[in-house]
A and B are shown apart, each in its own frame.
Chain A
Amino acid sequence: MALLRDATTVMWKDLKVSLRANRGIGGVLYLAFWALLFGAGLPLLMGETWLTSPEVLFVWAWLPLYVVTPMLGGAFAGERELHTLETLLATPLSNQAILWGKIAAGAAYGWAYALASIVLGPFVIALATGSPLRLYRPPVAVGGPVVGLMGAVAGASLGVLISLRAGTNREAQDGISLALMAFTIPIAAVRAGLQALDVPVADVLLAINGWLLDLVLIAALGVVSFVAVRIARARFVRTRLLLD
């Protein structure tokens, strides 16, 4: 119970710091850009496929993480750079509460974008095509929010792990970008390969049972999260954190 409460406290602070960083015209435009990109831009780009293809699951799993990158970079490296880490470590907060609070903050932020995209997509398509409102197929409608959440958790866990090891915010963000590319490139390569063979990606995915695809994606993201959190917990040694 204390862990949950403390992690929530850390999450509250991290979200507040991030949202405060995006105040003013520049900050609002930054948030609006990503919201429009995920909520309107991508659905318009994919058209009807947005509603019919399970490909959108991959979008909701990965793309919101690009928004969270600056926040995750600040998880530890930013605190170290701004000289707030030592004071935070001088409190009775447990290592786990700090770790989970930071992961939760990043995940909540990223998931909010995924949810925005899930909810707005059908309305944007309907408006753009002038057709009646259509919803996602059941495995996508049910699996989408969960995949989005798991993607956000996995990205946040990886981000926090990288931030823990990084000396500066910039170094952390570079590492996070590389990690995201390491996940994105294989998917893009498979996609390009299928296109080269003239096989539509949507057909391949539609041939797989939708519920099974949900489970596979959720499990894969779960494994990534689990491994990242395990390593981060092992690396979070309070008496060495100030020396890193």
Chain B
Amino acid sequence: MAEQQDAIRTYGLGRRFGDLTAVDNLNLTVPRGTIFGFLGPNGSGKTTTIRLLLGLLEPTQGRAEVLGLDVATQADAIRARTGALLEHNGLYERLSAYDNLEFYGRIWHLPKPERQARIHALLDHMGLWERRDDRVATWSRGMRQKLAVARAMLHHPPLIILDEPTAGLDPVAAAALREDIASLVAREGTTVFLNTHNLAEAEKLCDAVGVIRYGRLLAVDSPAGLRTRRGSPQIEVVATGITPPVLDVLRARPEVHAVTLENGGRLALDVAPDTDTGALVSLMVAQGVQIEEVRRGASSLESVFLKLMAEAEGDGAAA
């Protein structure tokens, strides 16, 4: 029964293309009703994983269940219950936005009145209704991505799979799309499997994230859990007078793992758990730094992600 609560479960799932292992022994659980972020750089195996989950590729190793259905034997039933925005938006650019949704509404056998109402509601929600009769080819990339998200949600699927939905969008369009996804998901209680390499997006949207590199799952946790459990404590210092020699002094300290100086004089120090913050501050003051603010917290998701990537590189090199 416990398995029925999960939208996705994979058991040692893997896929090879000749000598290349795209996905390797993936064991993953995504509970229903959550937004799960699958984080990884380009070429890490995210898109292959999606194709395996939708039955568009056969696994060469292990198996997977989506909504309690086996991907090897019940792929049609999985596709019937899933909405997807894949690597490319898959829209027919010669057709209007309305006709694109009409086509997919017919595929999912939505009755005509329901189809019309649903298309209206989704386009309205996305702010696209007024331009419903325009050919999609004339639309901006952001509008097309919104339309593709609307298409994925058209038939009220219990699971939607989104592959880099905000890739290539400007910050404003990306934020608007994220907001649309979040509000639609909250309203409809859908489970979301979100492929992304945008860490801010994952942090903002996701209940849990999995980090993948070279086809291997490196970590799974909530964004906050990942930051606290997999990252080092962090000391943030806002100051002036932080010169390269000061940074060298800090880097030479054994309790300091990483030093990052951002624009605006914000210094982030990844440190050992029992680090004496006061001693580090005194050291900086002695070096002529004028400190305005000091704050202790967890690592950013970005630094955890980069740390995991570096570890994976090390493992890859060792292997």
Contact = CB atoms under 8 A, between A and B. Distances in A.
Interface in A128-150: none
Contacts of A9: 103, 106-107
Size band of the B side of the interface? 20 to 34
Given A9-B107, A84-B90, A92-B80, A16 B56 contact: no
Interface residues of A, number: 26
B83 to A, nearest CB: 9
A171 interface: no
Say what secondary structure dominates the interface of chain B: loop
A23 B55 CA distance: 37
Interface of A: 2, 5-6, 9, 12-13, 16-17, 20-21, 82-84, 86-94, 238-239, 242-243
B11 interface: no
Given A91-B104, A91-B107, 11 more contacts: A2-B109, A9-B103, A13-B95, A83-B87, A86-B87, A87-B84, A90-B82, A90-B86, A91-B108, A92-B79, A93-B107
A84 B95 CA distance: 12
B84 A90 contact: yes
Contacts of A93: 107
Contacts, number: 73
Interface of B: 51, 54-58, 75-77, 79-80, 82, 84, 86-95, 99, 103-104, 106-109, 135
Contacts of A94: 76
A92 B103 contact: no
A86 B48 CA distance: 12
A20 B56 contact: no
B90 A88 contact: yes
Contact of B135 (A20, A84, A90): A20
Contact of A242 (B57, B94, B95, B106): B57
Contact of A16 (B80, B86, B99): B99
